[in-house]
Amino acid sequence: MKIIGIVPARMASSRFPGKPLKSICGRPMVEHVFCRAAMFSKWDGLYLATCDSEIFDFGQSKGWPTLMTSDSHTRALDRVAEAADNCGQILEENDIVVCVQGDEPMLHPDMITASIRPLEEDSHVPCTALAIAIADEEQFRNPDTVKIIHDLKGDILYTSRLPVPYCKKFTLGLGIRRVGGIFAFRWYFLKIFNGLSESPLELAESCDSNRILDNGYRQRIAPYANTQSFSIDSPSDIDLVEMHMHNDPLWGLY
């Protein structure tokens, strides 16, 4: 079973234009993401996918396998599906394609391991989402944080930018998790996903996972403990990441 990774990146982010090439501790954000993802030891291939010449040229300058994709994609997973189909690998239906979001500069390779594990343990699981435990109320209330509601088996019921489930007082006992920016798909199901139209709840919440749920499919959580890993959603997030990056155990290893 092959495992390939795609790092999708584009300049035209609605909330933070040009963010893949914004400097974090002296390096473009996408460099942190790609170099950290490359530390995962089981890749059969890791690719940067973009529709922008600036990002493509940067990837090429680093010697990374870099793919140009359509500029019509509004969601990362659509870009990932196109890139996986054109990466030069012959993929079997149950091979695994991992989307490593390009705005996760503090990811760790064991997050990728966690994202793949449910697919390895259960052949009926078509896709996963990294689900990181939320440990503070500020993150729970933050609309940039996509919260996960899942059933007792771990299948996702809904993802929302609202603070769900409803609670008068936030406690760790709620067991709330957030989307961690890494998604693993069996190749056959990524093709199914790519053939679906954007769905109402996906558009309302601006979250790809809701397209899966709107169409009656299921996505399994890949549980991960709370960690100081921050996605870049707005310019102010760069200061937050830089404050923590120098204390991260991977800093200085790439």
Instruction: Tell me what pLDDT residue 129 has.
Output: 98
Who's near 1: CB < 8 A, 6+ residues apart? 92, 94, 95, 96
DSSP string, 93-160: TT-EEEEE-TT-TT--HHHHHHHHHHHHH-TT--EEEEEEEP-SHHHHH-TTS-EEEE-TTSBEEEEE
CATH topology for 3-245? Spore Coat Polysaccharide Biosynthesis Protein SpsA; Chain A (3.90.550)
Overall residue count recorded for the chain in this entry: 254
Kindly state the DSSP code that residue 162 receives in the 8-state scheme: S
pLDDT of residue 6: 98
Mean pLDDT to the nearest integer, 126-148: 95
| Residue 161: closest CA among 189, 187, 142, 181 | 142
For the chain, the distance separating the N- and C-terminal CA atoms, rounded to the nearest angstrom, is: 28
Which pLDDT tens digit goes with each residue over 80-121?
999 999 999 999 999 999 999 999 999 999 999 999 999 999
HSE of 175, CA atoms in CB hemisphere, 13 A: 7
The stretch 178-199 carries a mean pLDDT of 96
Task: Over range 55-78, report the average pLDDT.
Answer: 94
% of the chain beyond a pLDDT of 90: 89
**What residues are paired with 49 via a beta bridge?**
8, 67
Looking at the DSSP bridge assignments, the partners of residue 8 are 49
- CA dist 26 to 15, 70, 238, Å? 22, 29, 11
Segment 158-184 shows an average pLDDT of 95
Closest among 113, 60, 56, 112 to 79, alpha carbons compared: 56
Three-state SS for 225?
Answer: coil
Handedness of CA 207, 208, 214, 216 (dihedral sign): negative
Residue 15 reports pLDDT greater than 80: no
Tell me if 133 sits within 8 A of 175, measured CB to CB. yes
Model confidence at 75, in pLDDT bands (50, 70, 90)?
confident
Examine the pLDDT at 170 and tell me if it is beyond 80.
Answer: yes
Secondary element (H or E) of residue 236: helix 236-245
The answer to whether the beta carbons of residues 190 and 97 sit under 8 Å apart is: yes
Asked if the model's pLDDT at residue 14 lies above 80, the reply is no
Average pLDDT over the chain, rounded to an integer: 95
Helix (H, G, I), strand (E, B) or coil at 6: strand
Residue-level pLDDT at 135: 92
**pLDDT value at position 67?**
98
Identity of the amino acid at 163: P
